[in-house]
Structure 1
């Protein structure tokens, strides 16, 4: 019993010295990654075991051969333990990074939802107040001039269309954020999608005296949801037309690269401030424009580009924007079918 207690004491002292040194090292590495902490912790544990075994073996007056056998066995086990610990530590560190990214994304989404509610409340309250005032004026007979009555009716229709588009955008965005978007992939000729989108945006462009130009050749086909891809192209065209001054040009072309299909919409809007380039696809972001929607057809709630990003990412692609000479270029990249 006395020998057993003595051996335990030797092992505890040797392991305690290594453990104290390890604690000091961990204290110095407080700001390092979780993988570093796990590796140091495993190394301290293994060294404590090695130190305890070596101390006990020496106290037992083992022969040189037996001492080497014991130390080699312990070191081999220590190397295996360290290797397994490093692998586990990397996975744990990756999981921690993923969890932090998920928390950051959730915070961004929550902030975006709060901002969206505030902006949508503003965009709905303003036209509703005007519509109510015009409806009451018509109902009470305050306006009787035919021209004024016709103008009131026109304004009511315009505001109703605007709110309908806003509600449609909210519904689409809610489907994307809730993961309820279900694509029906088909082989989609981009030329036909772009032609239909240009035809739909043509009245808006004509009203602003903006020229729409599409490339003549080089149009590939892509595998994806036809309705969703049409929404992407339409939203990009509407956005470029709205921010392009009169007598400007919006150009759209596409092609196939080594990593898939690309589609680009370029305009002469004058460029986007560098600080806003990373935010143009955020929900309800409108840059320096006033929050009140303009009266032109196509005025939206600042959700068009957010919907574009959501739909493109649902296809496994990505979308970006960069400034060019006198304007900016929105580029969508989709994986090969």
Structure 2
């Protein structure tokens, strides 16, 4: 019994000699690195065992041969444990980082949903109030002049078309965020898509006094779903036309690079504030300049562009150039 008590006391002493400093080190590392904490914990455990063995051997409870064997086996096992601990710590740290990123993404999505609801509520409420006022004026006979009546009908139709476009944008954005977008990539001549988009944007550009030019002759062929690619080019063109002043120019260029094809939409809007550039593709973001419903759009066009481009495996960038800004889209070839 006395021998057992002596062995226990020796083991406890060794554990305290190593364990107390080890606990202090672990406390200092607990907010820094999971990998380091796991490795320190395993090292403390192994060193505590070695210290206990050494103290017991000093009391001559085991032979020199057994002591040498233990002092070889335990450190080797400790090295293996440290290797496993390092690998496990790396996995734990990576999993924790992924979990933190997932929480951050969820918070950003929730904030984006709240902003989207606020923006859409505003963009729907304003035209609905105007349409209701004009409808009541027509019903009550307040407006009887044929020219004014025709103007009211034209305005009601325009607001109805704008709200229909906003609902279409919301539907498209919900498909992208829900992962329900189904692409059918084929080889698409980019020049044909750009030509159709320029023709579609020309009436709006002409009414604003903006010139739209496709400046590339040799357009590449890209791998994309044609309807979605048309939506990308059309949204970028309309966005450029809306913010280009009268007598300004919107230019579309394109070409081929090693990874595929690219095209760019440049305008003469005067540039975008640097503080707005990182947020330009966020849902419902409208920038530091106040954008009223009369300016068109619900702040969703560029968010849809990014979602569609990334769904194709491409990238979209924006930057300022002399006198304006440039949207660059890279698509797989």
Distance 1:212 1:60, change over 3 A: farther
Secondary structure of residue in 1 paired with 2:40:
helix
1:249, 1:215 → 2: CA distance?
Answer: 12
Find the counterpart in structure 2 of residue 198 from structure 1: 198
Distance 1:219 1:110, change over 3 A: same
Q: Deviations over 1:215-274 (max 9, x none)?
A: 333422222221111111111111111111111111122222233332211111111111
Q: Does the alignment pair 1:39 with 2:26?
A: no
Name which of 307, 317, 321 aligns with 2:318.
321
Find the counterpart in structure 2 of residue 7 from structure 1: 7
1:16, 1:334 → 2: CA distance?
Answer: 63
Distance 1:111 1:65, change over 3 A: same
1:96, 1:156 → 2: CA distance?
Answer: 54
Secondary structure of residue in 2 paired with 1:275:
coil
Q: Does the alignment pair 1:312 with 2:309?
A: yes
| CA apart distance, 1:66 | 4.2
1:232, 1:326 → 2: CA distance?
Answer: 23
Q: Deviations over 1:269-311 (max 9, x none)?
A: 111111111000111111123242125xxx1000001111111
1:247, 1:50 → 2: CA distance?
Answer: 84
Secondary structure of residue in 2 paired with 1:278:
helix
| CA apart distance, 1:78 | 0.9
Find the counterpart in structure 2 of residue 286 from structure 1: 286
Q: Does the alignment pair 1:145 with 2:142?
A: no
Find the counterpart in structure 1 of residue 300 from structure 2: 303
Secondary structure of residue in 1 paired with 2:310:
helix
Structure 1 portions without partners, runs of 5+: none
Find the counterpart in structure 1 of residue 68 from structure 2: 68
1:215, 1:50 → 2: CA distance?
Answer: 77
Secondary structure of residue in 1 paired with 2:250:
strand
Please, which moves more after superposition, 13-22 or 118-127? 13-22
Within a 5 Å distance, the mapping from 1:1-337 to structure 2 comes to 1-60=1-60, 62=62, 64=64, 66-294=66-294, 299-336=296-333
1:43, 1:307 → 2: CA distance?
Answer: 53
Secondary structure of residue in 1 paired with 2:169:
helix
Q: Deviations over 1:48-80 (max 9, x none)?
A: 233333333443455555433322211111111
Please, which moves more after superposition, 45-54 or 174-183? 45-54
**What TM-score, normalized by structure 2, do the two folds share?**
0.94
8 Å CA contact retained: 2:210, 2:248: yes
Distance 1:24 1:195, change over 3 A: same
- Paired residues in the alignment total 333
1:256, 1:35 → 2: CA distance?
Answer: 45
Q: What RMSD over aligned residues (CA atoms) do the two structures have, in Å?
A: 1.8
2:299, 2:87 → 1: CA distance?
Answer: 46
2:114, 2:36 → 1: CA distance?
Answer: 38
1:64, 1:335 → 2: CA distance?
Answer: 70
8 Å CA contact retained: 2:42, 2:78: no
Secondary structure of residue in 2 paired with 1:261:
strand
Secondary structure of residue in 2 paired with 1:283:
coil
Structure 2 portions without partners, runs of 5+: none
